[in-house]
Structure 1
Amino acid sequence: MGNLGDDAIYDAVRSQLPGATFLDLPPSRREMIRSLATGLNLSLRRTTQVVGGGTIVGRIQWRRLINRGMALMRNCGSHAIGVGVEDPVFVGRNSGSAEDELKHWAPILSEFRTVSVRGPRSAELLSDIGLDVKVSGDPALLLPRPEVVAEDGLIGVNLGFGDDLWGHDPTRLAEEMSVAVKQLSSQGHRFVGVLMNPEDRRWTEIALNGIAAEIVHPVDAAAAARELGRCSVAIVTRLHAGILASLSDTPLITLEYQPKCRDFALSIDAERSLIRTDKVNHVVVVERVADALADSEDIRTKTHAAVSHLRQRLEAEYAALGRQLGLAVA
């Protein structure tokens, strides 16, 4: 649907279940009605529901969709691997987590055959409603590690916010980033803007205004991972910009626009990378970039080890799922 973060999850899940036929549960009423006419609805009754990563649990719109899937696939079971949990401390325009939404998920997830989560905060939130789950990481971590060499002095920039952000002021954030970029450019750094979503262009252009920098919209998640992998450090807001950069161990400055960014950072022991968007100023950004570059070797080593550990967990869970589905699993 034009969002490389969603595509990254989908591509990763497909790569882990070779030989499986994937049918997409219709997300809207209009598409649900169309599925009745095309026969998709009947086909779905013979499938297993697999919920990939993404911030799904704790959002009312996803609860309705997943309940529909469970009703259709009652005899085949449901699995959630590396799923994210909406943190109710953040109230965005479309977060869908109001009125104790999360409490409605305990009976739903209790019926799932597999439940694991993206990060420690997601696990903590499910523990609060009585569910004991393990952290397996975001499924996008299963994408191939890009074979690229980082270029000294090249900084990747991604600015995009989804439905809302801490501070609710994207213009202020983009302008602070613009000042930081100019200071870093005066120190000899070069930049590339990496768009995860077409909507990111507006804000990334503000951040890179006045700087001779290419802005790229990669064709797929693998291409985005390569772009981020050739950077000596990446400054990102979008969750999956940070995840794809982590595939190549790229040091991150994560502008935490929603709690899901912290959830992932905690999963790879990279809390040091976070600056909440309502706390960002250009001085802090420049200082964090200098620190990340100075500690680059140590950061890359620790990131590689953390990502490898989560990849092993995810691979084991998808292998078990593949066996349940009767697929040939290596």
Structure 2
Amino acid sequence: MKALYIGWLGHKNVGDDFLVDIFRQQLSLNNINWDIDKTLANSSIGDLREYDLIILGGGSLLTVPYYIELCLKASKLGIPYVIWGTGVDNRDKGISTKIYEDLVVNKVKKGSKVIRLDEVVEKANLIGVRGNITKAILNNDKAKVIGDPGISFSKFISELPTVKEIEEFCSDQKDIVVVNWGTSYNNIFGKSEAEVEKELERAVREILNQGYKVIVYPIWSEDIKVIKSFVDKFENSNIMAINQVYDADEIAAMIDKAKFTINLKLHANIISMTRMKPFISLAYGLKCYDFAQSIDSMELIIPTDEVTQDRILDKVVHIKQNYEQIQNKFQLMIDKYYKRQMEYVKSLSLLSNYK
């Protein structure tokens, strides 16, 4: 069985790249030994007919017409495709809020183009989606909520690496807060990363005043220069910038040092959750709602057009007061979605009979 995994890969973005590894590990755990190719985002794909199966991988790919058309092209060629842990996204706050409140939408628009979700869902052989919001948008009983695949990340870790610069920074045993910051080129709720950064800076200054040490890190290569500029404002030895993109295992090792995290990017929140560390999500798109709602943690998000120093610090207080309850909920959700993802992968094995 030869399969093609398609996703937004090859852009030095941990949040997308580590999902491929999780998929392979889930297959291996279920004794499914397929030959898996992966395609880089925006790269040309050869003849699809050399593949027995197409996997629409994790991320927010159901909002991108290119991936939808690729699946439909496979279907026309008689090649089955599946949807694995995929979700939707939208960066318009009004639309996203309405979707979240209604949970009843059957089409997603990108500009003036209506993405052909009805057709791609109907022709899929198996559908597992990130969250209840995505399921409601697809409006099809075939879609099962299996959670973001990153939720099961820690289930596949046997030993984490030692990251020298993190060990040195944390050697004095002070409490640590890990912050993920970066850029989405203002494609966020409110369209102003500068405003979010201003309020985040004020909140981090107060967190430092409370005696914490702070680590600020990127999850995408484009984040690095933004982080350096942010940390340079402090002139404080108790805050450090990570000037490279760690792999997912290294990020997990770093987050294990933290009491809690504050994050812009979605998978920074997901890795924090899977390491049992409460997070504050600076929610910049509908996908952040989709994830938080799926783990019953909407109280941990602040939409980026509503971020203020006070709101961040209020979330810090909430985390301190409810620390064990949050961790217990995370564990329940990790176990819940790991089970669903394993059931999904077992169903995949039946597709081996296609060729």
What TM-score does the superposition give when structure 1 sets the normalisation length? 0.85
Asked whether 1:302 is paired with 2:329, we answer yes
Q: What amino acid is the match of 2:138?
A: L
Distance 1:182 1:135, change over 3 A: same
CA distance in 1, matches of 2:342, 2:87: 18
Q: Deviations over 1:51-92 (max 9, x none)?
A: 1211011322322333334345x2x41111211023485589
Counterpart amino acid of residue 114 in structure 1? L
Give distance in 1, aligned partners of 2:27 and 2:144.
21
How far has the Cα of 1:123 moved from its partner? Answer: 1.1
The Cα shift of 1:176 comes to: 1.2
Q: Is contact 2:180-2:265 (8 Å) kept?
A: yes
| 2:134 maps to 1:122 | yes
Matched-pair contact (CA < 8 Å) for 2:59–2:87? yes
Partner of residue 38, structure 1: none
The number of equivalent residue pairs is 309
1:207 CA displacement = 4.1
| Aligned residue type for 1:82 | G
- Aligned counterpart in structure 1 of residue 179 of structure 2, from 130, 142, 157: 157
Give the Cα separation in 1 of the matches to 2:249 and 2:40.
26
Q: Cα gap change, 1:267/1:318 in structure 2, threshold over 3 Å: closer, same or farther?
A: same
1:87-126 equivalence runs, <5 A: 87=90, 89=92, 97-99=110-112, 101-102=114-115, 104-126=116-138
Unaligned runs of 5+ in 1: 36-40
- Counterpart Cα distance in 2 of 1:230 and 1:312: 27
Q: Does 1:186 align with 2:199?
A: no
- Tell whether 2:275 aligns with 1:248: yes
Q: Which amino acid aligns with 1:287?
A: D
Answering whether residue 13 of structure 2 is matched by residue 3 of structure 1, we say yes
Check the 8 A contact 2:259/2:277 in 1, yes or no.
Answer: yes
CA distance in 2, matches of 1:89, 1:131: 27
Q: Percent identity?
A: 22
Partner Cα distance (2:342, 2:253) in 1: 22
Whether the aligned pair in 2 keeps the contact of 1:152 and 1:231 (CA below 8 Å) is: no
Shift, 1:131, TM fit? 5.2
Cα shift at 1:132: 5.1
Q: Displacement, 1:218?
A: 4.6
**Hey, what does 1:141 align to over in structure 2?**
151
* Cα distance change on mapping 1:59 and 1:218 into 2, 3 Å: closer
- Match of residue 250 from structure 2: 223
CA distance in 2, matches of 1:23, 1:63: 19
TM-score under structure 2 normalisation?
0.79
Query: Pairwise CA RMSD of aligned residues?
Result: 2.6
1:221 Cα deviation after fit: 1.6
**Corresponding position: 1:320 with 2:347:** yes
Query: Displacement, 1:194?
Result: 2.3
Tell me the secondary structure at the aligned position of residue 37 of structure 2. coil
Give, as a single letter, the amino acid of the residue that structure 2 aligns with 1:215: A
Query: How has the CA–CA distance of structure 1 residues 235 and 144 changed in structure 2, closer, same or farther, with 3 Å as cutoff?
Result: same
Instruction: Pick closer, same or farther for the CA change 1:239–1:87 going to 2, 3 Å.
Output: same
Say whether 1:168 aligns with 2:191: yes
Gaps of 5+ in 2: 1-9, 97-107, 161-169
- In 1: Cα distance, 2:257 partner to 2:306 partner: 28
Seen in structure 2, the aligned counterparts of structure 1 residues 205 and 296 have a Cα distance that, compared at 3 Å, is: farther
Distance 1:88 1:233, change over 3 A: closer
- Counterpart CA distance in 2 for 1:271 and 1:98 is 28
Q: Map residues 8-157 of structure 1 onto 2, 5 A cutoff.
A: 8-18=18-28, 19-25=33-39, 27-28=41-42, 31-32=44-45, 35=46, 41=47, 44-72=49-77, 74=78, 76-87=79-90, 89=92, 97-99=110-112, 101-102=114-115, 104-127=116-139, 130=140, 133-145=143-155, 153-157=175-179
Q: Does the 8 Å CA contact 1:255/1:274 hold for their aligned counterparts?
A: yes
- Determine the C-alpha separation between the residues in 1 that align with 2:109 and 2:183: 16
